[in-house]
Structure 1
């Protein structure tokens, strides 16, 4: 992924936070028939000794050949994104020398897939997935709410998967290369448009704009 230095994001906690908030992964891999992509919700575990960047966990249909691919996979997580109109730039008022752009945040995680074939570990994985997506609800659903024989029957048709991350990188294109007033104008403009993606991008921009400067001394 082409990433100018101004847009590079490498802090693990920031990359993991985007995955937590936007868990649908586009999993890209190379096969004998060419490139293929699957779209699978994944959760991320904390870094560990055997996975210093964390491990992605999820499940796929047993009929999906993804779980049998031996090659390295690229998992793409797309965060907030928004179109940026030239009308928000100070230069538009001064000389008109501006063009549109598009802001976005994305994480690329790489690793080889392994299956979770132990039934107890697989059930624990499914419980983790369910908890992740249900815990914010007033009355969260639990796997134990369904008949156990029904759950075990469904488990026969799916495969638990893990991808220990071997490398991970992020690109936060949030107008960091623009003057401060332009960045403020863009965030305000996105909020005024009042759509979910734009507001999320405005939040991300303001986090970058007002973040404390790192002390490199």
Structure 2
């Protein structure tokens, strides 16, 4: 990934992208060519030197049964948004501004391991469900569904674990603009209800 020095993400930003509940595009090179699937994932620090992304996919998905050639790649996307030049203070000063796109992204490389084991899958789906249901007023739990139904659902999926070997991370969040321009971007995003993107712009200025 092309990462200019002023857009390089720091360790805290990398850990935030890894740890927050979300989904990633898993990309593998196989004898059939490139295959990709968007998968909800959970990050585990307890696997390998750098941790692992743990997910699952449908048993009918050919990606898990097509041996990956070399490293696999998971692409994690953070906040991203269109940036209007009308938000820049410098627009009024000289007008030499154009639209752009702000974003945070993490490319996670590693060795893909397949888990076709009911015990691993049961632990994984409970953990993944807890990440997303934990803050709800009436959280759903796997135990809320009949055991026979859950057993059937588990037979229909396969676990995939990307054991991390390296990461590349980029945050393009108006760091190349003046403080006044960045403040205008944050205000413009917030006015349109894009709080996460606005907060990201402010975070990198403080950092």
* Same fold, judged at TM 0.5 (above): yes
Q: CA deviation at 1:155?
A: 1.4
**Matched residue, 1:64:** 61
- Counterparts of 2:109 and 2:85 in 1: how far apart (Å)? 35
CA distance in 2, matches of 1:175, 1:52: 33
Shift of 1:53: 2.2
Unaligned runs of 5+ in 2: none
Deviation at 1:22, TM superposition (A): 5.4
Residue pair 2:118, 2:155 contacting (<8 A) in 1 also:
no
Most deviating of 112-121 and 32-41: 112-121
Structure 1: give runs of 5+ residues left out of the alignment. Answer: 212-217
Determine the C-alpha separation between the residues in 2 that align with 1:93 and 1:155: 59
TM-score norm. by structure 2 comes to 0.91
Q: Is the 8 A contact 1:22 1:79 kept in 2?
A: no
- Separation (CA, whole Å) in 1 of partners of 2:21 and 2:101: 19
SS of the aligned residue for 1:209 comes to helix
> Secondary structure of 1:24's partner?
strand
Specify the SS of the correspondent of 1:178.
coil
In the TM superposition, what whole-angstrom CA distance separates every residue of 1:56-114 from its partner, at most 9, and x where no partner exists?
01111111122123232111111111111112223211221111111011111011211
Preserved CA contact (<8 Å) 2:35 2:63: no
User: 1:51 aligns to what?
Assistant: 48
The size of the alignment, in residue pairs, is: 205
**1:129-168 map, 5 Å:** 129-168=128-167
User: With structure 1 as the length reference, what TM-score do the two structures score?
Assistant: 0.87
Please name the residue that 1:215 is paired with.
Answer: none
RMSD: 1.6
**Other structure's SS at 2:105 match:** strand
**Is the 1:10–1:169 contact (alpha carbons within 8 Å) kept by the matching residues of 2?**
no
Instruction: Note the alpha carbon deviations across 1:148-205, whole angstroms, 9 max, x for none.
Output: 22211221111112111111121110011111111111111111122xxx32111001
